[in-house]
Chains A and B, each alone.
Chain A
Amino acid sequence: MTINDQKGRRETVAPAIELVGISKAFGAVQANKDISIRVMPGTIHGIIGENGAGKSTLMSILYGYYKADKGEIFIKGNQTTIPNSEAAIAAGIGMVFQHFKLVQNFTVLENVILGVEDGAMLRPSLTKARKSLTELAKEYELSVDPDAKIEDLSVGHQQRVEILKALYRHANVLILDEPTGVLTPAEANQLFRILQRLRDEGKTILLITHKLREIMDITETVSVMRRGEMVTTVTTSKTSPAELAELMVGREVLLRVDKKPAKPGAKILDVENLRVVDEAGIERLKGVNLHVCAGEILGIAGVAGNGQSELLAALGGYQKATGTVKINNKLIDVGGAFQGQNRRADGLSHVPEDRQHEGLIMEFTAWENLVFGYHHDADIQNGIFMNNAAIRDEAQAKMERFDIRPPDPRLKARNFSGGNQQKIVLAREIERDPEILLVGQPTRGVDIGAIEFIHQQIMTLKDKGKAILLVSVELDEVLSLSDRIAVMFDGSIMGERLANKTNEKELGLLMAGVKTGTN
């Protein structure tokens, strides 16, 4: 059944999923308040909202992870209850989680049949799955090597396995939770083609995201959630990114950053011939040369995995490297992997790419995190002890200045939303007044309101005459924040452009490793 002419059929076809008056509270927090939504079959329906708006809770209710306090669920017009995920699967609902649930050292086939084996022996199930996978691959252009181990697959292919898992379980409705958070732009485009194909074949897709662009590009209908409530559901073609952003946040949002022209001063960071060889002996950085001046932002663009992470780690002092690195004309030792303290002493601060595994300790409180890496600083010591009272006071002040919510320094980092976690890292690194700030993926997994705030903070720091090295896989972000842009490909800088004299197309070519003329 193909439903491209939805309008004519809307009245006659029962919704693939209809939720009526769903409410769910966790203690005092009302995560979902009286939510009603109709998802028509054969459409891509977007659900957009900031972190903490209740999107994931709603989907968890639909997938049987949580039980709603109130409300009804209809699937194809029939009222049902979904007490657990088995029931959801039986009802034809499949879910692709943000963090994949795959066994790393199993093959694709083994992962696909996991939990739905036909009997005690694996062979018949595997044979059946292999046949089924071949058909699915043909039908939806979802080709993956069935015998490859998950750990050998790229992130994009792992995601395909998750989709295949759902389809193998006969899912008619596919829920994808922030599917592009881990993908490169090219992989994201591939995913969208797959989703469109699935829709054309009659599947219903629920896409949960906070990226406006994805909503505009591939959804037909979009529902906006804010603070546990369903604000509205609109036809995508009749809305605009600016309107959606405003609906999400509840106020007008600046989607463009106000960038003042750079007044570059002295060279703060000077990198020559920086090389990194990883543990497997593979050269990750192949002689990088770059410099950053006071009062300017150098953006590093590139597809993830082309050496940006190693560049940040080497400059941040936790990746062995060779080459000449100078901060304020002072030669820096890059040969060690535990140089973080020395870097901070030399005036280099670093907002790392991965806030959950590097920037923060999730089990530590906010105040402990707000001093992380600076815990040797003289002003917070009290003899041989740390002056915890002073650290807490300072943390409280930082949390207020950076509008970190809730402003409770004794809360563990894991209890903050992604945006607020990022603000904790940013507050820590900026407030220690660095000469140069390294920023990796400043807005990854961060909601729109926080993105605006984080961009403003970076801009303010630049206007104060600090040097900033920005690494981001979001080309939009690099373009809108940077003064100069260097493009990395395969461990080298492919070229450097002035931000106001280049465009996405030119940078895209460089990101793909194609050399063009310089400006």
Chain B
Amino acid sequence: MQKIPQWADVVLVPLISLLLAAIISALVILAIGQDPVEAVKLMVIGALGSTYGWGYTLYYTTNFIFTGLAVSVAFHAKLFNIGGEGQAMIGGLGVAIAALYIPWPHWSIALLACTCFAAIFGALWGYLPAILQAKRGSHIVITTIMFNFIAAGLLNYVLVNVMRPPTSMDPATASFPPATHLPTLHDLLLPLGINFSRTAPANITLLIALLAAVFVWLLIWRTRLGYSIRSFGQSGSAAQYAGINPVRITIITMLISGGLAGMMSINTTMGEAERLILNAPEGAGFIGIAVALMGRSHPLGVVLASLLFGFLYQGGAELAMWMAIPRELIVVIQALVILFTGALDNMVRMPIEAFFAALRKSGDAK
């Protein structure tokens, strides 16, 4: 029997968690002598009040959808992939190689190919920890964290010593050729008569992210592989009884997870920077963990949670720019949201469960 109705589980619990996070954030803003109402206004207007704001919000959202999906897929196999950050970095390397060294006739073909490169490179970076976990029992949490550092080091070396144009002082690749430049939302929406901001970085990758969410949903709930992944995640001993090979599932799951994280780099590297820079993911790999937690590892939840975090990112940037609220406080607000929606979920859930139980009882009594 369901303890609480589904709508309460999916909508009410996260909403109340968010509200709590907002209240405490407001108190913190009050404590440093700023006006929380003004801050909220600024965040909403900055993130959602213009197509420029939306353009940034959706740009961040795109990143978080990819990394959130990556963490979710691994979650279903009870694998905790903390390595989204590194996988996205290496995915970016794949994008850069494909975009710089292969001449592409049209952005659409380039996008397709670069997506494959990003996924393959990201998957490879997930494959190594998977092998170590499946064959050697090295815990995947530890190895994926380590691989983030290795990825950063590797990228640093490649950018400084190999791919940096000889005349440049910047540890980044040369700009990608114009044929690989992706259409922004401005370009896509103009034919529909919508004049979307020209300068905002949101681009066609958003659609790929949404497609990826549909793909993950189909994979997890409609295919044999997804069934096996979930079986393995829920009960390793039962999966073995059923003849599901844990080594195989671990590796395949991490390939998919790493691939999804890697695909994030299309958005940052191909869509926004149009060249590979150091630290392109900017922590989106870690935000993916919070997004997956908040979205309960369900693709729809991940998309919604990504939108929220996109809003927080863009709104937070506006706050830092226009109010005397330091950049660090934005991180505090984001942390509070993660804390309440992820870690303290039960704190909100239990009173709600008790409330519904009492409601049911009084309903029975009548």
List the interface of chain A (C-beta within 8 A of B). 25-29, 316-318, 337-344, 350, 352, 354, 357-364, 368, 372-373, 375-376, 381, 384-386, 388, 415
Check B234 for interface membership: any CB of A closer than 8 A.
yes
**In the complex, which residue of chain B has the Cβ closest to the Cβ of A373?**
B242
Check B228 for interface membership: any CB of A closer than 8 A.
yes
A375 in contact with B238 (CB, 8 Å): no
B238 in contact with A359 (CB, 8 Å): yes
Point out the residues of chain B lying under 8 angstroms from A388, CB to CB: 222
B243 in contact with A341 (CB, 8 Å): yes
Check B218 for interface membership: any CB of A closer than 8 A.
yes
Q: In the complex, what's the smallest C-beta–C-beta distance from A213 to chain B, in angstroms?
A: 31
- Please tell me which one of the listed residues B228, B237, B248, B360 contacts residue A358 in the complex, with CB atoms under 8 A apart: B237
Point out the residues of chain A lying under 8 angstroms from B228, CB to CB: 375
Known: A27-B360, A341-B243, A372-B242. A357 touches B235 (CB 8 A): yes
B240 in contact with A362 (CB, 8 Å): no
Interface contacts beyond A364-B234, A375-B224, A415-B1: sample of 8 additional A-B pairs, CB < 8 Å, sorted by A: A25-B364, A27-B361, A340-B240, A344-B243, A363-B234, A372-B238, A373-B243, A376-B224
Point out the residues of chain A lying under 8 angstroms from B1, CB to CB: 26-27, 29, 415
Point out the residues of chain B lying under 8 angstroms from A362, CB to CB: 234-235
Known: A358-B238, A361-B234. A318 touches B243 (CB 8 A): yes
Q: In the complex, what's the smallest C-beta–C-beta distance from A112 to chain B, in angstroms?
A: 31
List the interface of chain B (C-beta within 8 A of A). 1, 218, 222-224, 227-228, 230-231, 234-235, 237-238, 240-246, 248, 357, 360-361, 364
Point out the residues of chain A lying under 8 angstroms from B223, CB to CB: 384-386
Known: A339-B243, A340-B244, A368-B227. A360 touches B238 (CB 8 A): yes
Point out the residues of chain B lying under 8 angstroms from A358, CB to CB: 235, 237-238, 240-241
A340 in contact with B235 (CB, 8 Å): no
CA distance A408 to B357 in the complex (A): 22
Point out the residues of chain A lying under 8 angstroms from B237, CB to CB: 354, 357-358
Known: A25-B361, A361-B235. A350 touches B224 (CB 8 A): no
CA distance A384 to B224 in the complex (A): 8
CA distance A28 to B363 in the complex (A): 10
CA distance A365 to B103 in the complex (A): 51
> Could you list 22 examples of A-B contacts with CB < 8 Å?
A25-B361, A29-B1, A318-B241, A338-B240, A338-B248, A339-B243, A340-B242, A340-B244, A343-B243, A350-B241, A352-B241, A357-B235, A358-B235, A358-B241, A361-B235, A361-B238, A362-B234, A372-B238, A372-B242, A373-B243, A375-B224, A415-B1
CA distance A418 to B1 in the complex (A): 16
B222 in contact with A373 (CB, 8 Å): no
CA distance A376 to B242 in the complex (A): 11
Q: In the complex, what's the smallest C-beta–C-beta distance from A18 to chain B, in angstroms?
A: 27
CA distance A415 to B223 in the complex (A): 25
| Chain B interface mostly | helix
Point out the residues of chain B lying under 8 angstroms from A386, CB to CB: 222-224, 227
**In the complex, which residue of chain B has the Cβ closest to the Cβ of A350?**
B241
**In the complex, which residue of chain B has the Cβ closest to the Cβ of A317?**
B243
CA distance A340 to B245 in the complex (A): 9
Closest 8 CB pairs of A and B: A340-B243, A373-B242, A341-B243, A358-B241, A338-B245, A385-B222, A361-B234, A357-B237
A375 in contact with B227 (CB, 8 Å): yes
A338 in contact with B222 (CB, 8 Å): no
Q: In the complex, what's the smallest C-beta–C-beta distance from A364 to chain B, in angstroms?
A: 7
B231 in contact with A361 (CB, 8 Å): yes
Report which residue of B228, B235, B364 has the largest number of chain A beta carbons within 10 angstroms of its beta carbon.
B235
CA distance A490 to B240 in the complex (A): 25
**In the complex, which residue of chain A has the Cβ closest to the Cβ of B245?**
A338
Q: In the complex, what's the smallest C-beta–C-beta distance from A377 to chain B, in angstroms?
A: 10
Point out the residues of chain B lying under 8 angstroms from A341, CB to CB: 242-243
**In the complex, which residue of chain A has the Cβ closest to the Cβ of B227?**
A375
Q: In the complex, what's the smallest C-beta–C-beta distance from B75 to chain A, in angstroms?
A: 13
CA distance A359 to B237 in the complex (A): 9
**In the complex, which residue of chain B has the Cβ closest to the Cβ of A337?**
B240
A340 in contact with B234 (CB, 8 Å): no
CA distance A352 to B223 in the complex (A): 25
CA distance A44 to B248 in the complex (A): 53
- Please tell me which one of the listed residues B222, B240, B357 contacts residue A318 in the complex, with CB atoms under 8 A apart: B240
CA distance A416 to B360 in the complex (A): 22
A372 in contact with B240 (CB, 8 Å): no
**In the complex, which residue of chain A has the Cβ closest to the Cβ of B360?**
A27
Q: In the complex, what's the smallest C-beta–C-beta distance from A319 to chain B, in angstroms?
A: 9
Report which residue of A361, A368, A373 has the largest number of chain B beta carbons within 10 angstroms of its beta carbon.
A361
**In the complex, which residue of chain A has the Cβ closest to the Cβ of B232?**
A361
Q: In the complex, what's the smallest C-beta–C-beta distance from B236 to chain A, in angstroms?
A: 9
Known: A27-B357, A357-B235, A386-B222. A316 touches B227 (CB 8 A): no
Report which residue of A27, A350, A376, A388 has the largest number of chain B beta carbons within 10 angstroms of its beta carbon.
A27
Q: In the complex, what's the smallest C-beta–C-beta distance from B239 to chain A, in angstroms?
A: 8
CA distance A382 to B235 in the complex (A): 26
**In the complex, which residue of chain B has the Cβ closest to the Cβ of A364?**
B234
Point out the residues of chain B lying under 8 angstroms from A354, CB to CB: 237
CA distance A415 to B2 in the complex (A): 10
**In the complex, which residue of chain B has the Cβ closest to the Cβ of A344?**
B243
Q: In the complex, what's the smallest C-beta–C-beta distance from B6 to chain A, in angstroms?
A: 12
Q: In the complex, what's the smallest C-beta–C-beta distance from B226 to chain A, in angstroms?
A: 9
Point out the residues of chain A lying under 8 angstroms from B238, CB to CB: 357-361, 372
Q: In the complex, what's the smallest C-beta–C-beta distance from A73 to chain B, in angstroms?
A: 21
**In the complex, which residue of chain B has the Cβ closest to the Cβ of A357?**
B237
Q: In the complex, what's the smallest C-beta–C-beta distance from B93 to chain A, in angstroms?
A: 31
Q: In the complex, what's the smallest C-beta–C-beta distance from A496 to chain B, in angstroms?
A: 27
CA distance A495 to B328 in the complex (A): 75
B224 in contact with A338 (CB, 8 Å): no
B243 in contact with A342 (CB, 8 Å): yes
CA distance A461 to B229 in the complex (A): 33
Q: In the complex, what's the smallest C-beta–C-beta distance from A58 to chain B, in angstroms?
A: 19
Q: In the complex, what's the smallest C-beta–C-beta distance from A163 to chain B, in angstroms?
A: 29
Point out the residues of chain A lying under 8 angstroms from B227, CB to CB: 368, 375, 386
**In the complex, which residue of chain B has the Cβ closest to the Cβ of A360?**
B238
CA distance A358 to B237 in the complex (A): 6
CA distance A375 to B225 in the complex (A): 10
CA distance A375 to B230 in the complex (A): 13
**In the complex, which residue of chain B has the Cβ closest to the Cβ of A352?**
B241
CA distance A359 to B235 in the complex (A): 10
**In the complex, which residue of chain A has the Cβ closest to the Cβ of B223?**
A385
**In the complex, which residue of chain B has the Cβ closest to the Cβ of A381?**
B224
CA distance A337 to B224 in the complex (A): 20
Point out the residues of chain A lying under 8 angstroms from B218, CB to CB: 385
CA distance A376 to B224 in the complex (A): 7
CA distance A343 to B242 in the complex (A): 10
Point out the residues of chain B lying under 8 angstroms from A385, CB to CB: 218, 222-223
CA distance A388 to B217 in the complex (A): 14
Point out the residues of chain A lying under 8 angstroms from B231, CB to CB: 361, 364, 372
**In the complex, which residue of chain A has the Cβ closest to the Cβ of B218?**
A385
Point out the residues of chain B lying under 8 angstroms from A360, CB to CB: 238
- Please tell me which one of the listed residues B244, B360, B361 contacts residue A338 in the complex, with CB atoms under 8 A apart: B244
**In the complex, which residue of chain A has the Cβ closest to the Cβ of B356?**
A27
Point out the residues of chain A lying under 8 angstroms from B357, CB to CB: 27
Q: In the complex, what's the smallest C-beta–C-beta distance from B134 to chain A, in angstroms?
A: 12
**In the complex, which residue of chain A has the Cβ closest to the Cβ of B237?**
A357
CA distance A381 to B227 in the complex (A): 13
Q: In the complex, what's the smallest C-beta–C-beta distance from B315 to chain A, in angstroms?
A: 37
Point out the residues of chain A lying under 8 angstroms from B244, CB to CB: 338, 340
**In the complex, which residue of chain B has the Cβ closest to the Cβ of A411?**
B1
Point out the residues of chain A lying under 8 angstroms from B364, CB to CB: 25, 27-28
CA distance A350 to B243 in the complex (A): 12
